[in-house]
C-alpha cells in the first residue's frame, strides 16, 4: 500500500455526496419541536464515504496496532497480559448489555450477584474487610483511599495530621493523590538495595503523619522486605497505611496486604484481572478497606440482604466519602474482571503470581548472563525488573530510548523507558504470566542482537525503527509544537 | 565531567545558586541536571511574590523523559521568574548557568547561603553518582 494511503485521515477520503446507503438511518428524527436557535444552519462536517472505504480505513488502522493480540508487550508497570476472549463474550451477554443503570435492583439480580461475588473474591485475595468497586480507574481508587484516610482523622477530631509519606520508589500518581486530598507530601528515600530507607522513615513520622502510601512490590521491581516494620512505625505514630495495588500481579494468592497490616488498598482490575487497557480507559480502581476505614467507603456497594442483592447508599453508610461517578464504576470492566477470576479460581490466582515472577526472573537472569547490567543485581525480580543501559550510553552512545525503538523492528513492544526515575537509562521489563518460553527467548535474543548492533553499528540502532508505519519521531518538536487539528473546510 | 563553575553554590538536588551580593540570589538547574533530564519541553517558574522555606518544591521542569520539581535552595521570597523559558525551554539545555536561569529569590536570611555546597563538594557528589 502506498505510504500516502497509510497515513490518510478518514476526512481525506471523503467525497461530497458519497453514501453508505445500507447503513443510513431508516427514519430521520423530527426536529419540529426544537427551537430555531438550537438547530444547525448547515450540515455537520462529517466524512462522506462508501461502506467499503470505511471498512478499509479502519481495518488499515487496526493493522497499525502494536498490541498484546499481535506482539509480546513487556511494558513494565502496566501488566499487559492476555485478555481472555471468554471474558469479553460473557460480559457482552444481552442481559448485561441491555441493563439500564436506573433499573430497580430486583431486575438486576444477576448483575448485582456478580458484583457481590467480585467484592467477596477481592476481599479474600487481599485480606481486607470490605471492598467498593465504584472507583472508575486507578487514580480515582487512590483518591478514594486517601480521602478515606482523611475522613478517618477528621472523624477522630485529629486535624494536626497534615502529611502523607511517599517513598520515592512509589508510583508517580501517589504524591499527586496526596496533594489532591489536601496533604503535604514528604518523600522517603530508598536505600541502595531498593528498600525503603528505615532510619529516614523513623525520622519522618510524627503527630503530623496522616499516612504512608506504599507501592509493593515497588516500581524498582523488588519486594519491600521490611513491610511489618514499616507498618509498625507508621501505625505507632498514629498514621494509616495505604497500599498501592498496581503491582498486585506478583503477590496474587501468595500474601495479602490485609495481613501485612494495611488499612486501605486500591487494585487496578484492568491490570491484575486482565481487562483490556492501554488505550486510556476505561479502567477500574476498586478499593479494599480494613475495619477502621470501612464506614467511609465510597458508594454504592453491593450487599446481600434477605430478599436478594441491593445497592447500599448514604442511608446505609452515612459516613461515606460519597459517590465517585454517576452510577457504580465501569460495569463492563468489572464483569470482565469477575469472569476472569471465576475462570482462574483459587489455584489459578497462585499460578498468576508463580508464572509472572518466574517469567520475569528467567528473562532477568538470562539478560544478566548475556552482559546486561541489572539495577539491583543482588535482588530477586518481582513480576518485573530493571535493566540499566548507563554503561552502553556512556561507552557506545546508545540509550534506553534507542534500544526501545530498535526492539520494534524485532517485533517486540518496547519495555517502559526512563521510569522509574531513580535508575538512569533504564528499561522496566514485565513479561507477565501469559507468555510461553519461546516468546521470552525470542525477546532475549532480540535484546542481545541489539547489543551486538550497538557495538558494531550504533548508527543503525539510533535510527530505528525502520519497519513500522512511522519512523522515529522528533519528541521535542512533538511536545513543543503540538498540532493535532485537521481542518475540514480550511 | 560536566561544567561546574567555581563561583556558584549548589544543592544536593542539583540546583545552582548565584549570590547577587544585594540580598538576592539567582537560581537554576545545573549542567549535570539538564544532561540527566534531556531536552526540556516545558518550564514553570515559581509565582513572583510567593515565599518558600528551604528545600520546598517551587518550580517544574519537564523533559521528553520526565517531569521534575525544582526546589528552593534557601528560604526566601520569589522576586522574578524567567518568563522567556515559556517559549524557549531549550535555553536551560543550551545555557544552564546563563540564559537558562529559573528564578530570583530575596533571601530570608543571608547566613543560609553558608548551608549550600561549594563547587568541590557538588563535583564529588556528581562523581559519586556516576
Domains and CATH numbers, chain B: 9-121 (2.40.50.100)
* pLDDT for A478: 86
Q: What is the DSSP letter of B100?
A: T
Could B68 and A480 be called an inter-chain contact, meaning their C-beta atoms sit closer than 8 Å?
A: no
In angstroms, the Cα distances linking A60 to A42, A55, A70, B91 are 31, 9, 14, 41
Specify the pTM.
Answer: 0.88
CA distance to partner chain B, nearest, from residue A16 (Å)? 41
Q: What is the pLDDT of residue A489?
A: 53
CA distance A257 to A262: 6
* Residue in A closest to B62 by C-alpha: A479
Shortest Cα distance, chain B CAs vs residue A401, angstroms: 9
Helical residues (DSSP H) of B1-130, grouped into ranges: 31-37, 90-94, 119-129
Nine-digit cell at A19? 453514501
pLDDT value, residue A185: 94
Which backbone phi and psi does B81 adopt, to 5 degrees?
A: -115, 150
DSSP assignment of A244-311 equals EGGGGGGTTTT--HHHHT-SEEE--HHHHT----SSS------EEE-GGGGGG--B-EEEEETTEEEE
With H, G, I as helix, E, B as strand and everything else as coil, classify residue A211.
strand
Say if CB A210 and CB A161 are below 8 A apart.
yes
Give the three-state DSSP class for B62: strand
Extract the residue ranges of chain A whose pLDDT is less than 70. Answer: 1-6, 280, 487-490
Q: How far apart are CA A351 and CA A142, in angstroms?
A: 27
Instruction: Decide if domain A86-344 falls under CATH 3.40.640.10.
Output: yes
At A179-227, the pLDDT tens digits run 999 999 999 999 999 999 999 999 999 999 999 999 999 999 999 999 9
Q: Which residue of B has its CA nearest to A186?
A: B56
CB contact under 8 A, A421 and B66: yes
Max intra-chain CA distance, chain B: 37
Kindly report the three-state secondary structure assignment for every residue of A156-193. CCCCCCCEEEEECCCCCHHHHHHHHCCCEEEEECECCC
- Nearest by CB to residue B39, choosing from A419, A421, A476, is A476
pLDDT in tens, A12-71: 999 999 988 888 877 777 778 889 898 888 888 889 999 999 999 999 998 888 889 899
Architecture in CATH for domain A351-478 = Alpha-Beta Complex (3.90)
> Nearest residue on chain B to A482, judged by CA atoms?
B41
Q: Which residues pair with A163 in a beta bridge?
A: A184, A209
Q: How far is B64 from chain A (nearest CA, A)?
A: 6
- Best of A391, A416, A418 to mutate (most B CBs within 10 Å, chain B): A418
B89 and A480: CB-CB below 8 Å? yes
Q: Do B36 and A424 touch (CB under 8 A)?
A: yes
A437-456 vs A331-369: helix crossing angle, rounded to 10: 50
CA distances in angstroms from A199 to A35, A230, A352, A468, listed in the order given: 69, 11, 35, 49
Across the strands, what pairs with A323?
Answer: A299
> Could you give the 3-state DSSP secondary structure of residue A375?
coil
Is the pLDDT assigned to residue B12 strictly greater than 50?
A: yes
Q: Tell me, what's the pLDDT at A488?
A: 53
Contact between A338 and A286 under an 8 Å Cβ cutoff? The reply is: no
CATH 3.40.640.10 occupies which residues in chain A? 86-344
The C-alpha atoms of residue A303 and residue A123 are separated, in whole angstroms, by 14
**Which of A418, A475, A479 comes nearest B66 by C-beta?**
A418
pLDDT confidence of residue A485: 78
B2 has pLDDT over 80: no
Q: Given this model, what pLDDT does residue A490 score?
A: 45
Query: CA gyration radius for chain B?
Result: 13
Chain A residue with minimum CA distance to B86: A480
Phi and psi, residue B28, nearest 5°: -150, -170
DSSP string computed for A57-78:
HHHHHHHT---TTTS---BTTS
Question: Rounded to whole angstroms, how far apart are CA atoms A416 and A76?
Answer: 5
User: In this predicted structure, what is the pLDDT of residue A72?
Assistant: 96
**Lookup result for grid cell 462508501:** A50
Indicate where chain A has its CATH 3.90.1150.10 domain(s).
351-478
* Burial class of residue A244 (count of CB atoms within 10 Å of its CB; 0-12, 13-18, 19+): buried
A131 grid coordinates: 471492598
| C-alpha cell belonging to residue A33 | 419541536
Of A419, A421, A475, nearest to B64 by CB-CB distance is A475
Amino acid at each position: 500500500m502506498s505510504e500516502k494511503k497509510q497515513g490518510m485521515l478518514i476526512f481525506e477520503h471523503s467525497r461530497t455526496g458519497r453514501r453508505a446507503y445500507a447503513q443510513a438511518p431508516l427514519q430521520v428524527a423530527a426536529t419540529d419541536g426544537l427551537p430555531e436557535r438550537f438547530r444547525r444552519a448547515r450540515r455537520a462536517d462529517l466524512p462522506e464515504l462508501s461502506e467499503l472505504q470505511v471498512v478499509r480505513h479502519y481495518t488499515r488502522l487496526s493493522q497499525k496496532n502494536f498490541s498484546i493480540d499481535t506482539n509480546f508487550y513487556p511494558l513494565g508497570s502496566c501488566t499487559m497480559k492476555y485478555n481472555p476472549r471468554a471474558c469479553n463474550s460473557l460480559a457482552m451477554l444481552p442481559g448485561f448489555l441491555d441493563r439500564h443503570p436506573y433499573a430497580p435492583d430486583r431486575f438486576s439480580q444477576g448483575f448485582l450477584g456478580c458484583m457481590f461475588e467480585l467484592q467477596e473474591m477481592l476481599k479474600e485475595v487481599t485480606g481486607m474487610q470490605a471492598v467498593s468497586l465504584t472507583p472508575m480507574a486507578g487514580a480515582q481508587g487512590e483518591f478514594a483511599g486517601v480521602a478515606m484516610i482523611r475522613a478517618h482523622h477528621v472523624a477522630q477530631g485529629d486535624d494536626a495530621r497534615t502529611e502523607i509519606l511517599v517513598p520515592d520508589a512509589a508510583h508517580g500518581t501517589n504524591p499527586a493523590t496526596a496533594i489532591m486530598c489536601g496533604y503535604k507530601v514528604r518523600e522517603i528515600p530508598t536505600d541502595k538495595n531498593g528498600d525503603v530507607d528505615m532510619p529516614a522513615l523513623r525520622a519522618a513520622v510524627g503527630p503530623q503523619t496522616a499516612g504512608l502510601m506504599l507501592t509493593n512490590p515497588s516500581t524498582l521491581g523488588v519486594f519491600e522486605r521490611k513491610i511489618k516494620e514499616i507498618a509498625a512505625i507508621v501505625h505507632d505514630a498514629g498514621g494509616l497505611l495505604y497500599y498501592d495495588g498496581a503491582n498486585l500481579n506478583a503477590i496474587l494468592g501468595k500474601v495479602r496486604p490485609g495481613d501485612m497490616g494495611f488499612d486501605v488498598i486500591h487494585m487496578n482490575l484492568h491490570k491484575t484481572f486482565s481487562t483490556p487497557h492501554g488505550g486510556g480507559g476505561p479502567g477500574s480502581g476498586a478499593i479494599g478497606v480494613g475495619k477502621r476505614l470501612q464506614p467511609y467507603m465510597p458508594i454504592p456497594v453491593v450487599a446481600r440482604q434477605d430478599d436478594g442483592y441491593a445497592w447500599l447508599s448514604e442511608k446505609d453508610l452515612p459516613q461515606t466519602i460519597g459517590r465517585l461517578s454517576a452510577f457504580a464504576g465501569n460495569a463492563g470492566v468489572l464483569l470482565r474482571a469477575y469472569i476472569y477470576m471465576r475462570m482462574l479460581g483459587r489455584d489459578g490466582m497462585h499460578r498468576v503470581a508463580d508464572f509472572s515472577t518466574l517469567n520475569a526472573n528467567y528473562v532477568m537472569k538470562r539478560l544478566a548472563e548475556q552482559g546486561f547490567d541489572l539495577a539491583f543485581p543482588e535482588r530477586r525480580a518481582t513480576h518485573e525488573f530493571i535493566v540499566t543501559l548507563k554503561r552502553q550510553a556512556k561507552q557506545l552512545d546508545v540509550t534506553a530510548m534507542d534500544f526501545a525503538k530498535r526492539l520494534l523492528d524485532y517485533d517486540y513492544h518496547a519495555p517502559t523507558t526512563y521510569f522509574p526515575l531513580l535508575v538512569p537509562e533504564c528499561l522496566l521489563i514485565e513479561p507477565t504470566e501469559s507468555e510461553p518460553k519461546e516468546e521470552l527467548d525470542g525477546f532475549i535474543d532480540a535484546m542481545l542482537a541489539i547489543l551486538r548492533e550497538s557495538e558494531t553499528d550504533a548508527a543503525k540502532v539510533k535510527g530505528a525503527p525502520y519497519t513500522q508505519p512511522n519512523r522515529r519521531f522528533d519528541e521535542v518538536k512533538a511536545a513543543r509544537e503540538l498540532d493535532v487539528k485537521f481542518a475540514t473546510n480550511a | 565531567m560536566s561544567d561546574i563553575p567555581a563561583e556558584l553554590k549548589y544543592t544536593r538536588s542539583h540546583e545552582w545558586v548565584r549570590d547577587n551580593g544585594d540580598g538576592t540570589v539567582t537560581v537554576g538547574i545545573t549542567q549535570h541536571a539538564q544532561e540527566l533530564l534531556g531536552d526540556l519541553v516545558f518550564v514553570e517558574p515559581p509565582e513572583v511574590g510567593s515565599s518558600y522555606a528551604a528545600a520546598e518544591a517551587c518550580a517544574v521542569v519537564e523533559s521528553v523523559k520526565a517531569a521534575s520539581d525544582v526546589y528552593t535552595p534557601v528560604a526566601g521570597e520569589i522576586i522574578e521568574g524567567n518568563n522567556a523559558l515559556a517559549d524557549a525551554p531549550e535555553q536551560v539545555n543550551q545555557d544552564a548557568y546563563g540564559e537558562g536561569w529559573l528564578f530570583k529569590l530575596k533571601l530570608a536570611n543571608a547566613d543560609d547561603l553558608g548551608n549550600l555546597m561549594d563547587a568541590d563538594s557538588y563535583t564529588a557528589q556528581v562523581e559519586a553518582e556516576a
